[in-house]
Every structure is written in structure tokens, then in C-alpha cells.
Amino acid sequence: MPTWNNIRADFPILHQQVNGKPLVYLDNGATSQKPRAVIDALVHYYERDNSNVHRGLHALSMRATDAYEGARTRIATFLHAADPAEIIFTRGTTESINIVARSFATRLKAGDVILTTEMEHHSNLVPWQQAAKASGATLRYVSVLGANAEGGLDLAALDQLLTPQVKVFAFTHISNTLGTINPVAELCRRARAVGAITVIDAAQSVGHAPLDVQAIGCDYLAFSGHKMCGPTGIGVLYGRRALLEKLAPDETGGGMVVNVTYEGATWKPAPERFEAGTPNVAGAIGLGVACDYLDALDRAAIERHDHALARLAYEKLSTLPGIRLLGPTGERGGLVSFAFPDVHAHDVVTFADEDGVALRGGHHCNQPLMRKLGLTSTTRASFYVYNTAEEIDVLVASMRRTLKFFVG
């Protein structure tokens, strides 16, 4: 069992002051901080092994290739994928979902249905809107329940929504605004029963809890490295091997071809088929080290820690006058979103910054959901392995100061 306060020593960025106050970093839903082990891995690669992969026979290229493919194998183990070839390196969740959505845009037709939910991040919404427009398919949504979306998804409506016409069911694992934890294994099972392909946005869950793609039964799963202690600019698309072999390449060029003539080209199998050009070698290596770091902490323990902080924050914030808290009142992922009447979220986060507290304010790439809830923005506090109960007290004190200024 990790000692959470001691873990803070692994993260150099946390040991600073902002506006004369100790930094309290509560914007982990946007990006997490990086442990020394990940930073050192990036430095080691650039100082010792920097080279292009797969194409060189010299020592540096072979070392870089071994490290890059080793990271793929490590991430496959992290997800419990059946084969490292099911791991495609991308720039992040957005690119991963777009690869799948653009492929379906060429395969769907009028009469087909794409099903998603009202709580999706724009990255798992806009690509499906575009796929529907391009193909003539219909886009439908599973509703969220409650004035503050505290009821989660309307699972009772799935019997009517999940028909044989549904070809794709795309949904988030943990809502980046609400903290709702969706029953992804159940959703995949119900989708599979009607022959629908499932696509999971795991950006807010993969580094916060154990995740087994085979047990979940998903077809595709996407996430970003920078939200799970890894570098920016690297992400993963997991896809079942049989499905990846049927997927057309999203980009073409060097490294993903078997043979090229003036008349045409043939593609390599997955995953190379989807990694045209020079990949983010350093990012992949850093992501593999992030997996090592999180597994050493025990992801089940991380999950308990993050959820406990979210429950504590929800409880303490609920004592503030006039606050509107979004999402479930019970078990939730490691974040809490809230709003005050007549105080814009940008003002809230600006005041918090004066106290050294880093929060996120805005629509969180959830504009349709915000409109449904009658809001333009919320403030979000999101937690990770290095956050503490004492930092929640700092957050609440900062919010009291903000309210005193605006409300009196």
C-alpha cells in the first residue's frame, strides 16, 4: 500500500509555489504531472538512443526499435490485451477515436445507427457526428438522468435504443465532467448481443484503475498518455486484432507499406499499417515507463485513493452556500464539478490560482451536456495519486474566499 504523501517526492513540479502559495494541483482531468522516472526515461532516450525505428541497422536504431516495441508490449500487458499488435500508437484519445470514426464513415449507410451518450467529451462526439453526415447514418444518444445528471445514463432505455440497426456504440468509461463511472462491461455485452461494435473513451479511467480489455469485452478503446503520468503527444488505440485487420489505414506514407509501385501500394498488417511516418518514439517509451510506475503503486489502490478524495471533496464542497454539484452523489471517479450562481467558472479558477490552487473552468469539451443542464460552465477539481486530503481543505478555503468576494 503506497504512502500517498511520500509519492509527492516523485513529482518535481509539485515542489514549487504559485503566487507565493504552495502549489495545489487539481487539474489532473486535463493532464497529470510526470514522475521523475518518466522524465529520466525521456532524457535517457534523447541522450543515448535517439534514432528512427524499424529502418536502421546501426546500434542506435536497433536500441530505439527495441525500446519502442518493448513499450508496445508493456502497454498490451497494462491493458491485458491478447496481442501487442492490438496496440496502435497515436497522438492521443482524439486521434484514436477519429481513426475508428473515419473508417466507419466509409462503411455505414442510410438506415444504420451510431449510438453514443449525452455525457461524451467532444472527442467522442464530433467524430461520430462527422461519420453520420458522411455516411447518411443516424446518430442517437443515451440520455443522462437528473437535473444535475446525478442519475447517470438511462440504462433502462437501452432495450429500445440498442437495435440491430446500431452498428457502433461509443461511450465514455468515466465522464470528464460528471465523474460518472459507466458499467462498461455491461454496455459492451448488451451491444455485442445486437452485433454492434463498441468504442470506449478511457481517457479518465485507464491510469486511475485496473483495466482489462478482454474482461470488459470492448472492440476498441482509446486513451491519452499525458493523463496517466506519461508524456504529452502520445496515446493508444486498442483494437481487437481481427477488427484491426479489416480497418483501412487512416494515414499513408513511409513505414506502413509492404510494396510501392507507380501504380499503387500494399499495406503492412496492424499495428504498422496505422503508424505512418516517424512515430513518437520517446513518447511511447515514456508511456511504457508510466505503466511501470502506476503498476508499482497498484492501480486498485490508486482507484481507492482517487475515489476517496472525490467523496471527501464532494462532502466538504456541499457545505458551501449556493453551490451546485454535478454528477452522482455516491461512488464517482476522481473529480468533482460544481457551479455557483452568478459567478463564472473562469472567475472561480482565477481566484483559486491566487491561492496556488490549479483548477479547470469552462465547458470541459461538453457543450451539449452543459446546455442540457442549463449551464455555460463549471469549475472542476480532479485528483490523482499525489493529491491529499489536506489539499481539499485548501480548495474549500479558497472557494469560501471566492464566495465572500462575489457574494459577501
Tens digits of residue pLDDT in 213-230:
999 999 999 999 999 999
CB 177 within 8 A of CB 365: no
Are 109 and 238 part of one and the same domain? yes
Domain of 283: which CATH number? Answer: 3.40.640.10
Report yes or no on 216 lying in a domain: yes
Are 75 and 19 part of one and the same domain? no
Each residue's pLDDT tens digit, 299-346: 999 999 999 999 999 999 999 999 999 999 989 999 999 999 989 999
> Is 0.85 topped by the overall pTM?
yes
Catalytic residue among 188, 218, 291, 365: 365
Q: What pLDDT sits at residue 199?
A: 98
Are 243 and 375 part of one and the same domain? no
Annotation marks residue 291 as catalytic: no
Are 176 and 84 part of one and the same domain? yes
Are 373 and 255 part of one and the same domain? no
Q: What pLDDT sits at residue 282?
A: 98
Which residue range forms the structural domain that includes residue 211?
Answer: 40-295
Report yes or no on 402 lying in a domain: yes
Report yes or no on 35 lying in a domain: no
Q: Which three-class secondary structure state does DSSP give residue 246?
A: coil
* Furthest-apart CA atoms within the chain: distance in Å: 74
Average pLDDT, the chain: 96
Q: Is residue 1 pLDDT above 70, yes or no?
A: no
Q: Is residue 2 pLDDT above 70, yes or no?
A: no
Nearest in space to 287 (alpha carbons), one of 5, 67, 11, 64:
67
Are 189 and 336 part of one and the same domain? no
Listed in sequence order, the residues at least 6 apart from 237 whose beta carbon sits closer than 8 Å to its beta carbon are: 87, 88, 90, 95, 96, 97, 99, 100, 220, 221, 222, 274
Measure the CA dihedral 36/38/41/45, to 10°: -130
What's the grid cell of residue 63?
536500441
- Phi then psi for residue 258, to 5 deg, are -90, -45
Other C-beta atoms closer than 10 Å to the C-beta of 18 total 15
Average of per-residue pLDDT across 7-34: 97
Are 283 and 324 part of one and the same domain? no
Share in percent of the chain as helix, strand, coil (round to 5): 45, 20, 40
Measure the CA dihedral 253/258/259/264, to 10°: -50
Q: Is residue 80 pLDDT above 90, yes or no?
A: yes
CB 380 within 8 A of CB 177: yes
Work out the percent of the chain whose per-residue pLDDT is above 90.
Answer: 95
Are 290 and 303 part of one and the same domain? no
Q: What pLDDT sits at residue 319?
A: 97
Are 159 and 291 part of one and the same domain? yes
Indicate the residue among 295, 316, 345 that finishes a domain.
295
Q: Tell me the Ramachandran region of residue 262: left when phi exceeds 0, alpha when psi lies from -120 to 50, beta otherwise.
A: alpha
Are 290 and 316 part of one and the same domain? no
What's the grid cell of residue 118?
449525452
Q: Is residue 58 pLDDT above 90, yes or no?
A: yes
Indicate the residue among 295, 328, 360 that finishes a domain.
295
Domain of 397: which CATH number? Answer: 3.90.1150.10
The Cα–Cα gap between 119 and 176 comes to 8
Are 82 and 158 part of one and the same domain? yes
Report yes or no on 363 lying in a domain: yes
What's the grid cell of residue 208?
486511475
Report yes or no on 208 lying in a domain: yes
Each residue's pLDDT tens digit, 120-146: 999 999 999 999 999 999 999 999 999
Indicate the residue among 278, 295, 312 that finishes a domain.
295
Residue 55 — pLDDT band, cuts 50, 70, 90?
confident
Each residue's pLDDT tens digit, 236-250: 999 999 999 988 898
Average of per-residue pLDDT across 94-107: 96
Are 171 and 320 part of one and the same domain? no
Count structural domains, the chain: 2
Q: What pLDDT sits at residue 311?
A: 97
Cα four-point dihedral sign 363, 366, 367, 372: negative
Report yes or no on 54 lying in a domain: yes
Average of per-residue pLDDT across 178-196: 98
Quote the strand ranges of 50-193, DSSP E: 87-90, 113-117, 138-142, 144-145, 152-153, 166-172
Average of per-residue pLDDT across 351-370: 97
Q: Which three-class secondary structure state does DSSP give residue 106?
A: coil
Q: Is residue 178 pLDDT above 70, yes or no?
A: yes
